[in-house]
Structure 1
Amino acid sequence: MGTTTRRRVTVALTAAAVVLGGLSACSDDNGPRESSSPSSGHATGNITSGSTTPSSPPANDLQTQYQQVVRNVLPSVVQITTQSGLGSGVVYDDKGNIVTNAHVVGQATTFEVTLPNASKPITAKLVAAFAPDDLAVIRLDSPPADLKPARFADSSKLQVGQITMAMGNPLGLDSSVTEGIVSAIGRTVSEPQTSGSSGATISSAIQTSAAINPGNSGGALVDLESQVIGIPTLAATDPETDGGAASGIGFAIPANTVKSITDQIIKNGKVDNSGKAALGVTVRTVAGSSSRATGVGVVSVQDGGAAEAAGIQQGDVITSIDDQPITDVAALSEVLGGKQPGDQVKVSLMRARDGGKATVDVTLGELKG
């Protein structure tokens, strides 16, 4: 993997953006994550009269392959409707379990799910959501006999430059397909906090040039082997255009994360092994005298958690971790997103009791939910 770049990316949630009766902005009514060096190779051709003939397949062969992928995967991509909007989902198994984004389900517990080419929606209920990875599982009340589960890839084998296709329901246009490549892997990006999203940080996201638009969240990012490589969840926004979409920059949760979290939710109704580091605190951004964010205030400390063991107390303000400045909640999430449970870190604080400065050693715990 290449050198990791720690650059803040502005993103927008891309689910439930189509509200009943019209369209809403990319910000989403329920609520839109660094990289490997690209692989390279050289085609070997037949030498004839001193010239090299490329061995790549004819364009019509690639087109046929695209069409076959659509036929194979699109029947597994559904539309999920809540009272406040819509998003997409992927059929996970023949029991009627469907994986989607946590910000697609928002606060809802019941849903209407429309299968491709279906005449009417099927009702579904929430199994569980895991907000830290922005994933959720819902289950159809009456799964049809011909339900077609998707096949999920081993996302650890992804390489930059692979052709990919995004399938979902952007802007309410059901069963839509866009095409692009894997632009980067291992990105760390944070979602904005909204009424439908707690602001999850995805530390191993896939970046793609396939168009990701409102309503695509929870759908399928697939390869030419008809396998789901990720779940589209975020689209970058351009601050120079007042938050307008940044063309060709979308993000997806990798398939290996999706499989791990979904399997735990289906089996246990919760997530016990997230692989995500936790400090064991509830926090909020603290603003200084100039109204600029200056740190993260500790609202509460989890009993038996990492922070309590290190002596961090309610009211303390976290200002840095391992010398990386912590100015707001998003910065804290991004730093923790690059850590592992069991890692030891140095946390710099302003103490609530006297306003003094302190640095404590913390052994990070693991997020559960």
Structure 2
Amino acid sequence: MTDSTPLSSLSSALADVVARAAPSVVSVHSHRSRSTGFVWKSGLIVTADEVLADEGEVEIGLADGSRVAATIAGRDHTTDIALLRADIALAPIKLDASVPPLGALSIVVATHREAPSAALGMVSASGKGWRSLRGGDIDARIELDVRLGGSQQGGLALDASGSAFGMAVLGPRRVLVIPAATIERVAPQLEARGRIARGYLGLGLQPVQLDDGVGAMVMNVDKAGPSAAAGIRQGDVIVAVNDQKLSGVRALSRTLGPASVGAIVDVAVRRGGEPVSFKVTVGERPEA
């Protein structure tokens, strides 16, 4: 019997971390697509929305090779989080909202070709929250120096102690982690409502350059929307919201997150060159 070496001890520790997490990880099969998911709560599985097909049946693949039918409980394209319901008796994974430091080891436990898989890498970026290209608020910027295949998206990202700090997904030219804090914020809303509420003004806007800054010209107005009810018309130019000068149409859209629904905002516009102010109660964006 050979003595243990630091390398063999590390190998055993990593294998133990994987073995503890693997029972909560499943494969996800949707129309012409394969990905990974993990049990978030009893009967509820979190997976990567980007890989989930938009139509067709969804099945969960278990470690014994069997499959179980699943339904989509909710999905949020902006944070890449989808929630599935399935009649399975697997133990949920406990998520850890702490953000791993730069340079920390990370293990992604996922599935590949329906079999369990694991990949070892390093945290190559660890920073503050950011906004996705689709407008979702991600609580921390975590990138991994690790190679993953498409079917491993939705896998668990673990630190060296085995704590699950998020879900691994493929971003442009890098592996990103949707952190636990984002999952724990979004998944309960998907469970309860099937989607994430977004603020809605009911306006189609076009950026315009003004002598003293940037404005947003109202190109069309939803007659049943909150801005129409407040009195905003086509041709008005929005110059400020809540006394803050407008920096662009995209910046205005970014303020319309879930917390904005129901808020009353002061919208300053120019109508025919004259200043006019309106109080608009932010509505909830209708489902597409």
TM-score (normalizing by structure 1): 0.57
Tell me what 1:105 maps to.
Answer: 52
1:134-166 per-residue CA deviation (whole Å, 9 max, x = no partner) reads 3221112x42x4x2321111x1x3243343223
Supply the distance in 1 between the matched residues of 2:252 and 2:53 (Cα, whole angstroms): 23
Supply the distance in 2 between the matched residues of 1:363 and 1:177 (Cα, whole angstroms): 48
Supply the distance in 2 between the matched residues of 1:317 and 1:215 (Cα, whole angstroms): 47
Supply the distance in 1 between the matched residues of 2:274 and 2:124 (Cα, whole angstroms): 48
* Larger relative contact order (Cα-Cα within 8 Å, sequence gap ≥ 6): 1
Alignment of 1:188 with 2:136, yes or no, is no
Tell me what 2:144 maps to.
Answer: 209
SS in 2 for 1:175: strand
User: Aligned to 1:82, which of 2, 18, 30?
Assistant: 30
AA partner of residue 188 (structure 2): D
Tell me what 1:253 maps to.
Answer: 178
Tell me what 1:122 maps to.
Answer: 68
1:93-127 per-residue CA deviation (whole Å, 9 max, x = no partner) reads 33x21112333335336302212x33232221112
Tell me what 2:101 maps to.
Answer: 160
User: Aligned to 1:223, which of 152, 155, 159?
Assistant: 159
1:201-234 per-residue CA deviation (whole Å, 9 max, x = no partner) reads 2242432224355344332222233232112345
SS in 1 for 2:23: helix
Supply the distance in 1 between the matched residues of 2:179 and 2:223 (Cα, whole angstroms): 29
TM-score (normalizing by structure 2): 0.70
Structure 2: which 5+ residue stretches go unaligned?
210-214
Contact 2:130 2:140 (C-alpha < 8 Å) held by counterparts: yes
**Closer, same or farther in 2 for the Cα pair 1:348/1:174, shift >3 Å?**
farther
Structure 1: which 5+ residue stretches go unaligned?
1-56, 192-198, 238-244, 289-293
Residue 366 of structure 1 and its aligned partner are, at CA, apart by 7.4
**Within 5 Å, which residues of 2 pair with 1:16-165?**
58-94=6-42, 96-108=43-55, 110-115=57-62, 117-140=63-86, 142-143=87-88, 145=89, 147-153=90-96, 155=97, 157-161=98-102, 162-165=104-107
1:235-261 per-residue CA deviation (whole Å, 9 max, x = no partner) reads 1x3xxxxxxx2xxx4333221231233
AA partner of residue 16 (structure 2): Q
**Closer, same or farther in 2 for the Cα pair 1:324/1:317, shift >3 Å?**
closer
- Which has more strand, going by share of residues? 2
- The structure number with the bigger radius of gyration is 2
Alignment of 1:278 with 2:199, yes or no, is yes
Supply the distance in 2 between the matched residues of 1:311 and 1:173 (Cα, whole angstroms): 59
AA partner of residue 231 (structure 1): M
**Closer, same or farther in 2 for the Cα pair 1:134/1:308, shift >3 Å?**
farther
**Closer, same or farther in 2 for the Cα pair 1:159/1:175, shift >3 Å?**
closer
Contact 2:221 2:228 (C-alpha < 8 Å) held by counterparts: no
Contact 1:170 1:216 (C-alpha < 8 Å) held by counterparts: yes
Cα RMSD of the aligned pairs, angstroms, is 4.4
AA partner of residue 186 (structure 1): K
SS in 1 for 2:12: helix
